[in-house]
Structure 1
Amino acid sequence: MNIKMLSMGAMALAMMTGAALAGGSTGTSALDDPAKMTPFFTDAGMKTMKSDDEFKAAWMALTEEDRASMTKDCGDNVIGKSHDNFCAKTKQLGGAN
């Protein structure tokens, strides 16, 4: 149990540090925010998506505002195309549900 707690703490710290170094999400897509996107991927490089059940759990853990922002970004042709796998999964979930 301690290893799991340490791992989760390290992951949270890495996500906060990454967001701080990137200057937050000012002027960028929510889909480019590592703090929001990391829960949907199995790897640090965010190349491999989690299973459908894990993806849905991460999606439902977001705030309604974050889900709306991400859904909007998926509707943008340029932004959505660079995140096509993620956007396809959000559409399978019916957008915000």
Structure 2
Amino acid sequence: MNFKMLTMGAIALAMTSGAALAGGSTGTSALDDPAKMAPFYTDSSMKTMRSDEEFKTAWMAMKEEDRASMKKDCGDNVIGKSHDSFCAKTKMLGGAN
């Protein structure tokens, strides 16, 4: 019985740890949310950013809590670096740490 419980515990731990490691920081950032980021890009692949004026309009149309979340993510060295063009524009608006 103890071996069975130990095995079940080890499997549960491995599954939980694996999910946490696989998730890492991917997908947890507001900058990785396509619905939030789409207004800032002209294409669905999110490679071409909108003009500064269009960017500012989209930025100001967002809820303050969404802007705060994005500002926080831009302040993170790892997350911000992977979204450097977007974060540079938020900094121009006085929006990043």
The CA deviation string for residues 28-71 of structure 1, in whole angstroms up to 9 with x for no partner, is: 00000000000000000000000000000000010000000000
Equivalenced residue count is: 70
Tell me, in whole angstroms, the C-alpha distance in 1 between the residues paired with 2:67 and 2:44.
22
Structure 2, gaps ≥5 residues long = 1-26
Q: Which has the larger radius of gyration?
A: 2
TM-score normalised according to structure 1 size = 0.70
Residue in 1 that maps onto 2:21 = none
Q: TM-score scaled to structure 2, two decimals?
A: 0.70
The residue type paired with residue 67 of structure 2 is R
How far has the Cα of 1:88 moved from its partner?
0.2
Structure 1: unaligned runs, 5 residues or longer: 1-26
Q: Which amino acid aligns with 1:28?
A: T
Q: Percent identity?
A: 83
The residue that corresponds to 2:33 in the other structure is 33
Give the Cα–Cα distance (whole angstroms) in 1 for the partners of residues 62 and 32 of structure 2. 15
